[in-house]
Structure 1
Amino acid sequence: MTATRNEKEKGIVAALITAFADREDPPSRKEILDRAAALAPILGYDGDLQDIVVTAETIIPSRMNAGISLIDVEAAHDEEWIRKREIGSTYAEAYADYLRSENWHPTVINTLLNYDGSKILGLLQDPTSDGTWNRRGLVIGHVQSGKTANYMGVIAKAADAGYKFIIVIAGIHNNLRKQTQERIDEGFIGRSSDPSNRVNIGVGMNAGYPHPATLTNINDDFNEKTAARMGWQLNDFSKPIILVIKKNVRTLDALHKWLKAMNARGDGRIADVPMLMIDDEADNASINTNKEDIKPTRTNAAIRSILGLFTKSCYVGYTATPFANIFINPEAYDPEVREELFPKDFIYSLDAPTTYFGPDKVFLDDEASNDILGRIDDCEDYLPFSHKNGRPVAELPPSLYRALDQFIVARAIRNLRRQERKHCSMLINVSRFVSVQREIKGFIDLRVEKLREAVKANYMMPEEVSIKNFYMAGLKAAFESEFSGKGFAWEDIKKSLWGVFEHLRTYVVNSKSDEVLDYGKYQRDGIGLTAIAIGGLSLSRGLTIEGLTISYMYRNTRMYDTLMQMGRWFGYRPGFEDLCRVYLPQDSINWYSYIAHASEELRLQIRRMRKIGLSPKRFGLYVQSHPDSLLVTAANKMRSGEKVILNQNYSGKLIESTLLPLDAEINANNESLIEEYWRDQFGSMIQDTKQKGWFIPDVDVEIIEEFLMRFKSHKDAVLPKSWAIDYLQAIASQFPKGDVLLISKGAGDKESFRLGAQDRTAKDATSDGWRLSGYRLASRGDEKLGLDKEQISAAEARVAEDKKSKSRKPSDFHYREARDKPLLMLHVLEPTDNAEFSGLRVPAWGMSYPVGLDHKQIEVVANQVWFEQMYGALDDDPDAEDDYDE
């Protein structure tokens, strides 16, 4: 059979990846082009090489480091069972071949299957082992980073090892279940589950591939009718059986009923059928949010009931936001549904490939953030955060129309980059209500039609004519403000605009929509879809938006998991990362930045606990006592108004005053307090940091406590300051001395005890207070100041060990780990971008605590009033989503 043009192109890309696979430094474009030109005649390709070079250029630099695990060291489990048995590799090798055919980088495939996949398989039970067993684990990935690819690798290896029955629970929405079914069809089943087109695909293209049996397809979930048609049992099949089901009580109950009726023995349990359950988005709906003295929630109970049917079972949850999972009580037990889903046996943290476009790049890298992030400050007047179902939409905010203009221009640039056959999408998420989403689509459709007409009439016209058109002027403004440095002149862009509209479609994406956002249909025809996806919860969790370039989200939530899962813009953006833009309200930008810091520190904590051999249970205790645990617990407890009492642990944490008063007298008093302690109390061993202020070592902790008690805080930030002091007192016997860092920028004066002020934007500040951007006071690297050479070297050694890359700089967590005592940091800020407070000097403080104090805790009490003062109202209740599947 003669290879198609597309197959030849993929063949050249694969050959290029192999040719440069061992290079430490990425090859230049000329090197790739020269090698492609040499390969083309050998592989019988005579077409243009530019698209091939662009594709190869974005894949070749990709690297992926191995993950890290926490395990229950006291459990009688031998991870080496996978090396002590003869295990075939039929399914795993087929999956690796499939990934290679999709041009995955060899090192990424190797890490995915031969390291992470093998490691996770070893953490499961040997399916051939005797007796009754169950194991519970959790795999932590990154949002949109390839968790599905990982668990498909685990499934393939588990099938090779002898797991007979595999259940994949794929989220709470039909479109997500369908998406997951399609991927498993390609990567494991090897045959399309579309009843009208049962052809071999993906892994099934290998001759003689042993197709697993499946009880679900892209159209149909498991249900009672499906069950009624099945008169066979699990052991009737020699090959593995897999189901892809929705996380839905009716579906789970129907599956439980069929399993028990057809497969259970006299004691009501299923023996000799090793079962693996993969729970995708395991933090969503699976968690038992009821109090321990009442029955578990229905979804949680249904999952546990199915697991309890099997005498041999493994449960592995996958999530990027593990906070809720780690709050499960590991000791909880219900006589009807048995053990809870706490990951008692292992927690495995995946790394992401170097090409991952993640929270650190979008929110923590200042240079990248300035390009990527756009601030929504006009939506409240058009479509407020809090609005009711059926609310009429009179018009859309100008910022949304500007984002649409940028999307059109970005697509034109991608076409000029020879990416016209790649998908390109825009996400609009501004309401959870279907009725409102439909109205928004109406306005977007109308605007797209106006743009289409304007471009058709003007894209070939002289500039002096076309610029007079309102819509063309908007497109040019979008180009000049965002994309003028991307290698193309406006004239090039303008000529390319008409091609943007050929395959442009708008979709409402929710559980009640009758239009399907089906990228696969266009891909099969060799067409790059240009999609505008408008939705709510369906766009907020799990669903992959292919080629996502422009994101516009105006939603009000402060829950860690909900907010991070809304970040559909995370993922892989080969060849167009520089065109991606994310539009959010400033409050959301602040929260994403804060959570990105917290999530990174959580991963580093897993690595630290792994080194000292602590179990998942100990990590669970650490997270439950983490200061941010108030956020995680609040969703289900504080809405009812009850107080939350938690043991808090500040080990390895930086606590800062980020809600500041703007009263001139209060700030003058605080600055006088800094001068007083600097002059008389902190001591005379003042060292110039040579970079950014002065460092005073070995100050009595009692003096630091006294300073903080006298420092006047914002009225709504008194409690966090009090807790910071309480924790300092709790560790005082272990750390009688602390360090003080006086951070100064510019015109600081040691002789007059005056700190140089740091400029910070205060655009949203009012007389009620100033919430710092990103909920961050200290700049990255501030905690390095005052460390000696040995401590700095220790921090650098740790980051090299953590990240397997000496080019990565230590984070503040690494510097904190190297420091051997508490650190008080003092700042003076000067508000900018707000004439009302121009020239005001605002002192602020931060308290950094050493790591390794997991045993030191303080009890804190918070209620709904306090929570709303600190974090805002809890008005984005996922349970109220109008597009939620039942």
Structure 2
Amino acid sequence: MSTQGDKEKIVLAALIGAFDDQNGLPSRDEITAKAALLAPLLGYSGDLQNIITEAETAIPSRMNAGVSLIDVDAAHDEDWIHKREIDTTYADAYGGYLRSQGWKPTVVNTLLNADGSKILGLLQDPTSEGEWKRRGLVIGHVQSGKTANYMGVIAKAADAGYKFIIVIAGIHNNLRKQTQQRVDEGFVGRSSDPENRVNIGVGLDRSYPNPVTLTNINSDFNKQTANVSGAQLNDFKNPVILVIKKNVKTLEALHIWLRELNAKGRDRIADVPMLVIDDEADNASINTNKPDINPTATNAWIRKILRLFTKNCYVGYTATPFANIFIDPDAFDKDAYEELFPSDFIHSLDAPTTYFGPDKVFLNDESSSAVLRQVEDCEEYLPFIHKNGFPVAELPPSLYRALDQFIVARAIRNLRGQERKHCSMLINVSRFVSVQKEVRSFIGLRLDRMREAVKANYMMPEAASSKNEHMARLRAAYDAEFAANEFGGRNYSWDEVKTALWGVFESLRTYVVNSKSDEVLDFAKYEKDNIGLTAIAIGGLSLSRGLTIEGLTISYMYRNTKMYDTLMQMGRWFGYRPGYEDVCRVWLPNDSINWYRHIALASEELRQQITRMRQADMSPRDFGLYVKSHPDSLMVTAANKMRSGEKVILNQNLTGTLQESWLLPLDPKTNQDNEEMIAEYWRDGFGGTVEPTEKGWFIPDVDVGKVDEFLLRFKAHKSARKRKADAVEYLLKIAPKFSKADVLLISKGLGDPAAYRLGAQDRTAEKDATPDKWQVSGYRVASRGDEKLGLTDDQISAAEKLASEDTKSKKKKPSDVHYRMVRKKPLLMIHVLEPTENPAFAGYRVPAWGLSFPDGLYGADFEIEVIANKVWMEEMYGSMDDDPDADEDYDDE
């Protein structure tokens, strides 16, 4: 018997599919009319509001196929999938399942028949004779559907003939269980819960050929469970799949069982094509040093398991590929054999247009201002750096404001008909379990008082209810955040919201989520009863990797790690927010906001680089060398290696990058000297001809020596001198190829050209400026589009063409990377900035520079040596003391 929730999904899937072939987007009225027509035909008599809202969000969704970087010299025919007649039983069932869950058919088609087929083709034909192996990496976006993608690859691989599939699902039990549930629904077709072995998901079709699973939602792999089958791998008619935790003991147990049971005394297993999917492949496989998930041991056991099979493929999945690229491609161990470097292929996935990702949260000014809120008071209550057992005397007011927002946002979502949808709040302020429990106690106490206040006042006249302090705070949250609702979504009056407040507390629960907790954040349990869970999840690392927090609406995080992978993975707020994106809020300290912006830009440029290298027929090894020599590699490498204070030396390549003086002096004399020097060079035209632009002045074809001379004389902040020196050294390194550079004098308004004085550009300095130095917000000096200035019409047209061909360019409009590519020479940008939102520095004029380098200069001939120690790193990037890899909430099992 179908539940009301099941019927909702059926109507939603039919409604989305009804518009799949329509040209142009349907109006809400058209969607409403079609829903009203379909609902009775499908036996649904409930409220259609939420179905219409979700359909309205999903129907515009589009998804481009990804881009692959392959080893073009390898003897591999990726068209093997088109030369064989391959049954599509598992892939068709999975595609049907996704559509039944409300996925747009065109998105499913891209996921399975574009990306899925492409990745399968990059694997080996499982019917191939002899011994073979393949190593690859798939780069996705945090919370964007990587699991859906690798589930599609698994289904297609099973259709093609892969017999033994291992999914390595992170280092925590809750993530392994979540992944097992998804594998059960999308591939196995039967619940793996020993107490409830019922057909689910793809298995609701009784003719479905269920694969065999040797793990279940309660138990990771163990020899006793596996031996129950009493079979050899080749005895199974259907594919065998395991979902295991990335844990040394588990991997070792699997290796022993496979060797004892299936190798029949031989060293290796023949005639069983196997596939390993390593989810969160940058974590533990490579870069953690916890004793029982030691990177060397974890990595070695994965390699040993692969080695057991004469026919094996390994595909890592990650949204943060820096660590994977740092694998030594030539590493070999006599016991573990070849490393996991993706030597055969790297595939970069696109995300559907409905993805609520880093660009919306951090790079788009309009949506960022709607979503982001600054945490400014947490240090007084729960400092960045604190010890286990830290006594929490009270929580910061900003956390209580975020809690108020959450209660109001849930009420609004309920009014929109989303009562049966999950709604969650994330709180990540400490890595210590003891502190997390104390935070939960304070949150619980506040919720008890709010519940009492709401119960007594939600039906009272406003004149009476407003006298209650908790009701007044909830009203303030409504007025400040949700009353105007300029970014979409239906408006509701405060009276309507107030009436809905009591319903928020009906299924509100708080959880401490870590590997030592006996509480399980189990959304599926509530779904069975058709209940939308309202959850507040408090935790550390367990909330920072892989785990999907359903319906995440309000996020509050106060952590100061600078590690690319960990920080991006902490962004559990990325994902899909149908019908409630406008009520989502993310609370972060300003340093984190700036660093997220920097990483979002770096990650996007990394993906664009894959496209450019593919066009140049370059290999994954070339891409690995590029990332290894990327300027941000210093941050990634050094943070891993400098805990003992050792010095790090790297060869760096600045090709295609913009290097800027985002760390600036606020000393008036220094800045006056720099302004006078700018006037001096401007007066002389840098030895060239000065031309006006819409935003300042342009000087083409200046001698590189003149640019070098200017930068050497420019007075940098003491902590930024090394960065300037590296940029100058690289400019001189490429000078034999580029003797000329362009110069831009960028000005806000007219400035005073007669006095050779630039108009100052406003840059926020609310929290980033001290009398000693100013770290410019977002680690960016130039505005977007500045690099377009001075280009010819033909160059602009060329940049537009590059953007239109770039599958990673969301809006198909040129970015500064595209302008950089068509300029084909170095570009010096000169600015004068004025700190704003900080009265102490009102009216200050602070000169700054940026140096943009042309793209495509790969190889050792275009590298410089960069040296850093711990002191230098902390001057540039701040403290490294909050090391999430040292979190104390790892699994003990």
* TM-score under structure 2 length normalisation: 0.97
The equivalent of 2:716 in structure 1 is 713
Among 872, 886, 890, which residue is 1:884 paired with? Answer: 890
Q: Report the more deviating stretch, 795-804 or 328-337.
A: 795-804
Q: Which runs of 5+ in 2 are unaligned?
A: 486-490
Please list, as runs of the form range in 1=range in 2, the aligned pairs for 1:391-790 lying within 5 A after superposition.
391-486=390-485, 487-690=491-694, 692-764=695-767, 765-790=769-794
Give the secondary structure class of the aligned counterpart of 1:760: strand
The equivalent of 2:281 in structure 1 is 282
Counterpart amino acid of residue 647 in structure 1:
N
The equivalent of 2:880 in structure 1 is 874
1:221 equivalent in alignment to 2:225: no
Please list, as runs of the form range in 1=range in 2, the aligned pairs for 1:335-414 lying within 5 A after superposition.
335-414=334-413
Counterpart amino acid of residue 883 in structure 2:
D
The answer to whether the 8 A contact 1:799-1:806 is kept is no
Cα 1:604–1:635 change in 2 (3 A) is same
Q: State the alpha-carbon separation in 2 of the partners of residues 874 and 732 from structure 1.
A: 36
Counterpart amino acid of residue 621 in structure 2:
K
The answer to whether the 8 A contact 2:165-2:274 is kept is yes
1:328 equivalent in alignment to 2:327: yes
Please list, as runs of the form range in 1=range in 2, the aligned pairs for 1:834-845 lying within 5 A after superposition.
834-845=838-849
The answer to whether the 8 A contact 2:834-2:845 is kept is yes
Q: Report the more deviating stretch, 327-336 or 830-839.
A: 830-839
Counterpart amino acid of residue 849 in structure 2:
W
Counterpart amino acid of residue 731 in structure 2:
L
1:164-208 Cα deviation digits (max 9, x unpaired) = 100000000000000000000000000000111000000000121
1:149 equivalent in alignment to 2:166: no
Give the secondary structure class of the aligned counterpart of 2:210: coil
Q: State the alpha-carbon separation in 1 of the partners of residues 165 and 43 from structure 2.
A: 42
Structure 1 residue runs of 4+, over 4 Å off?
227-230, 804-807
How far apart are 1:509 and its partner, in Å? 0.3
Q: State the alpha-carbon separation in 1 of the partners of residues 820 and 341 from structure 2.
A: 30
Counterpart amino acid of residue 651 in structure 2:
N
Counterpart amino acid of residue 621 in structure 1:
L
1:759-780 Cα deviation digits (max 9, x unpaired) = 1111221112111111111111
Cα 1:306–1:786 change in 2 (3 A) is same
Cα 1:289–1:30 change in 2 (3 A) is closer
The answer to whether the 8 A contact 1:143-1:564 is kept is yes
Q: State the alpha-carbon separation in 1 of the partners of residues 27 and 781 from structure 2.
A: 40
How far apart are 1:6 and its partner, in Å? 3.8
Q: State the alpha-carbon separation in 1 of the partners of residues 601 and 478 from structure 2.
A: 32
Q: Report the more deviating stretch, 869-878 or 460-469.
A: 869-878
The answer to whether the 8 A contact 2:607-2:808 is kept is no
1:796-837 Cα deviation digits (max 9, x unpaired) = 111111138895321111111111210000110111121211
1:829 equivalent in alignment to 2:828: no
Please list, as runs of the form range in 1=range in 2, the aligned pairs for 1:794-813 lying within 5 A after superposition.
794-803=798-807, 807-813=811-817
Please list, as runs of the form range in 1=range in 2, the aligned pairs for 1:86-125 lying within 5 A after superposition.
86-125=85-124
1:364-386 Cα deviation digits (max 9, x unpaired) = 00111111000001000000010
Counterpart amino acid of residue 188 in structure 1:
F
The equivalent of 1:189 in structure 2 is 188
Cα 1:773–1:805 change in 2 (3 A) is closer
1:88-136 Cα deviation digits (max 9, x unpaired) = 1111011011111111101110000001000000000011101111110
How far apart are 1:229 and its partner, in Å? 4.4
Give the secondary structure class of the aligned counterpart of 1:551: strand
The equivalent of 1:203 in structure 2 is 202
Cα 1:403–1:739 change in 2 (3 A) is same
How far apart are 1:795 and its partner, in Å? 1.1
Cα 1:519–1:211 change in 2 (3 A) is same
Please list, as runs of the form range in 1=range in 2, the aligned pairs for 1:17-166 lying within 5 A after superposition.
17-166=16-165
Q: State the alpha-carbon separation in 2 of the partners of residues 805 and 670 from structure 1.
A: 37
1:706-738 Cα deviation digits (max 9, x unpaired) = 000000001000101000000000111111110
Q: State the alpha-carbon separation in 2 of the partners of residues 210 and 15 from structure 1.
A: 26
Counterpart amino acid of residue 126 in structure 1:
D
The equivalent of 1:236 in structure 2 is 235
Percent identity for Structure 1 against Structure 2: 73
The answer to whether the 8 A contact 1:227-1:255 is kept is no
1:357-413 Cα deviation digits (max 9, x unpaired) = 000000000111111000001000000010000111100000000000000000011
1:134-174 Cα deviation digits (max 9, x unpaired) = 11000000000000000000000000000010000000000
Q: Report the more deviating stretch, 484-493 or 669-678.
A: 484-493
Cα 1:165–1:806 change in 2 (3 A) is closer
Give the secondary structure class of the aligned counterpart of 1:54: helix
How far apart are 1:231 and its partner, in Å? 3.4
Counterpart amino acid of residue 643 in structure 1:
K
1:464-510 Cα deviation digits (max 9, x unpaired) = 11111111111011011110123111111111111111011000000
How far apart are 1:267 and its partner, in Å? 3.9
Cα 1:29–1:197 change in 2 (3 A) is same
How far apart are 1:681 and its partner, in Å? 4.8
Give the secondary structure class of the aligned counterpart of 2:684: helix
Q: Report the more deviating stretch, 639-648 or 586-595.
A: 639-648
The equivalent of 2:15 in structure 1 is 16
How far apart are 1:266 and its partner, in Å? 4.3
Q: Which runs of 5+ in 1 are unaligned?
A: none
Give the secondary structure class of the aligned counterpart of 1:803: coil
Q: State the alpha-carbon separation in 1 of the partners of residues 794 and 273 from structure 2.
A: 52
Please list, as runs of the form range in 1=range in 2, the aligned pairs for 1:833-872 lying within 5 A after superposition.
833-855=837-859, 856-872=862-878
Q: State the alpha-carbon separation in 2 of the partners of residues 213 and 41 from structure 1.
A: 39
1:548-569 Cα deviation digits (max 9, x unpaired) = 0000000110010010000000
Give the secondary structure class of the aligned counterpart of 1:717: helix
Q: State the alpha-carbon separation in 2 of the partners of residues 6 and 464 from structure 1.
A: 39
Give the secondary structure class of the aligned counterpart of 1:562: helix
How far apart are 1:56 and its partner, in Å? 1.1
Cα 1:879–1:41 change in 2 (3 A) is closer
Q: State the alpha-carbon separation in 2 of the partners of residues 57 and 342 from structure 1.
A: 42
Cα 1:224–1:807 change in 2 (3 A) is closer
Counterpart amino acid of residue 385 in structure 2:
S
Q: State the alpha-carbon separation in 2 of the partners of residues 595 and 555 from structure 1.
A: 16
Give the secondary structure class of the aligned counterpart of 2:806: helix
Counterpart amino acid of residue 759 in structure 2:
G
Cα 1:806–1:422 change in 2 (3 A) is closer
Cα 1:703–1:305 change in 2 (3 A) is same
The answer to whether the 8 A contact 1:288-1:328 is kept is no
* TM-score under structure 1 length normalisation: 0.98
Q: State the alpha-carbon separation in 2 of the partners of residues 179 and 590 from structure 1.
A: 32
Counterpart amino acid of residue 800 in structure 2:
E
1:227-269 Cα deviation digits (max 9, x unpaired) = 5545322111111100000000000000001011111144411
1:610-647 Cα deviation digits (max 9, x unpaired) = 11110000000000000000111123311122211111
The equivalent of 2:488 in structure 1 is none
Q: State the alpha-carbon separation in 2 of the partners of residues 389 and 41 from structure 1.
A: 58
Q: State the alpha-carbon separation in 2 of the partners of residues 531 and 806 from structure 1.
A: 33
How far apart are 1:43 and its partner, in Å? 3.2
Q: State the alpha-carbon separation in 2 of the partners of residues 621 and 237 from structure 1.
A: 43
Q: State the alpha-carbon separation in 2 of the partners of residues 616 and 865 from structure 1.
A: 34
Q: Report the more deviating stretch, 748-757 or 147-156.
A: 748-757
RMSD between aligned residues = 1.4
